[in-house]
């Protein structure tokens, strides 16, 4: 069994592992610097799964600022992934007079505020506003601060730096993407090879089961462990047709069991391919063993795979050659029907 991981899997791992470290270092640097800093707090929100409608908040925070009397800023976000449900000015002990505008089509928040009372002077973090979002879709969203301006009591502009935030809402999605059959018709009692391809379309490694069915009857399953993001696995199942009834066609289905947090399950089940299980000797697949089958056997007599007159269905005992044994089996089942 081979698992081919693509570059997306590595990127997802880097986002989950490296970005928190980067933001931690970034915040530490900001806290240790004497330069005024306007930033998103917390700098990283990493949600393991999408819960549509779930709410969370971030603060627009300042530190190392002297005599902050007024400010304005813009905050961009992914409006497909997030929806703004609330904005509150802070700090509560010194609420400013402010204006707000939200453009959810473009994913843009505009805030301007001025403090009537005491201006803000602080070397420690102070939240200027809280923005509350609700989840709409999975993905990666940068909370980007731009066109920011800070002014002091005399109207002078305060030099400062900005630091964006990041929201990750991970997708959990496994799927069955392909089913291939070694044949579409076979004699009862033969073992048929069925290859099923399962893929992890989500953002994190997953554990799940792949189950295979004939006409909705389960005949085998396989446990897939730690399949990485973007990776696929091909699983070979052997179906012993002794369990089926001759003279019938069977739809083959494969299903990937739902993983925790999976929202889209429409691709977990795939129905692809039909296998006809025949009575012994029914070379031409008409559900009746007669002279037509003997004629088909005779036309393929002595052939092996690769020969121009090779006929797999005439090799009734499945030994790789059409010979007298196969003709005997046809005669033994002459006039048989399912």
Question: What digits encode the pLDDT tens for the residues 26-68?
Answer: 444 444 458 999 999 999 999 998 899 999 999 999 999 999 9
Q: Which segments of the chain belong to CATH 2.60.40.680?
A: 3-169
Question: What digits encode the pLDDT tens for the residues 195-215?
Answer: 999 999 999 999 999 999 999
Fold of domain 282-338: Type 1 dockerin domain (1.10.1330)
Q: Which segments of the chain belong to CATH 1.10.1330.10?
A: 282-338
Give SS3 for 291.
Answer: helix
Question: What digits encode the pLDDT tens for the residues 100-127?
Answer: 999 999 999 999 999 998 999 999 999 9
pLDDT at 1: 38
Question: What digits encode the pLDDT tens for the residues 145-191?
Answer: 999 999 999 999 999 999 999 999 999 999 999 999 999 999 999 99
pLDDT at 254: 98
CATH of 3-169, one of 3.50.50.100, 3.30.420.40, 2.60.40.680, 3.30.360.10: 2.60.40.680
- CATH superfamily, domain 171-278, is Immunoglobulins (2.60.40.10)
What is the percent of the chain where pLDDT is above 70? 90
Q: Is 305 exposed, middle or buried (0-12, 13-18, 19+ CB in 10 A)?
A: exposed
Q: Which segments of the chain belong to CATH 2.60.40.10?
A: 171-278
pTM of the entire predicted model: 0.73
Q: Is 13 exposed, middle or buried (0-12, 13-18, 19+ CB in 10 A)?
A: middle
- Asked if the peptide bond before residue 280 counts as cis, ω within 30 degrees of 0, the response is no
Closest CA to 12 of 267, 182, 256, 230: 230
Say if residue 324's pLDDT is above 60.
Answer: yes
């Amino acid at each position: 069994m081979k698992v081919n991981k693509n570059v997306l899997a590595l990127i997802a791992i880097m986002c989950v592992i490296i970005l928190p470290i980067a933001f931690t270092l970034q915040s530490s640097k900001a806290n240790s610097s004497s330069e005024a800093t306007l930033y998103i707090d917390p700098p990283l929100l990493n949600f393991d799964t999408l819960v549509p409608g779930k709410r969370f908040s971030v603060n627009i925070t300042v530190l190392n600022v002297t005599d902050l009397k007024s400010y304005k800023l813009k905050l961009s976000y992914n409006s497909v992934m997030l929806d703004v449900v609330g904005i509150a000015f802070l700090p509560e002990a010194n609420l400013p007079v402010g204006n707000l505008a939200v453009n959810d089509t473009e994913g843009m928040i505009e805030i301007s505020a001025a403090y009537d009372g005491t201006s803000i002077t602080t070397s420690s973090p102070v939240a200027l506003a809280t923005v509350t979002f609700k989840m709409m879709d999975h993905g990666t969203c940068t909370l980007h601060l731009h066109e920011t301006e800070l002014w002091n009591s005399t109207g002078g502009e305060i030099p400062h730096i900005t630091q964006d935030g990041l929201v990750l809402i991970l997708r959990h999605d496994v799927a069955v993407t392909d089913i291939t059959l070694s044949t579409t018709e076979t004699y009862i009692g033969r073992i048929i090879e069925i290859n099923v391809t399962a893929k992890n379309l989500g953002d994190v490694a997953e554990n799940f089961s792949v189950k295979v069915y004939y006409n909705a009857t389960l005949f085998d399953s396989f446990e897939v462990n730690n399949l990485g993001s973007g990776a696929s696995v091909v699983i070979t199942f052997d179906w012993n047709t002794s369990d089926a009834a001759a003279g019938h066609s069977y739809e083959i289905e494969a299903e990937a069991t739902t993983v925790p947090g999976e929202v889209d399950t429409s691709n977990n089940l795939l129905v692809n391919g039909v296998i006809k299980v025949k009575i012994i000797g029914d070379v031409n697949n008409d559900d009746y063993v007669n002279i037509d089958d003997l004629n088909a056997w005779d036309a393929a007599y002595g052939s092996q795979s690769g020969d121009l007159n090779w006929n797999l269905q005439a090799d009734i005992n499945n030994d790789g050659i059409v010979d007298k044994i196969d003709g005997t089996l046809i005669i033994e089942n002459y006039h048989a029907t399912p």
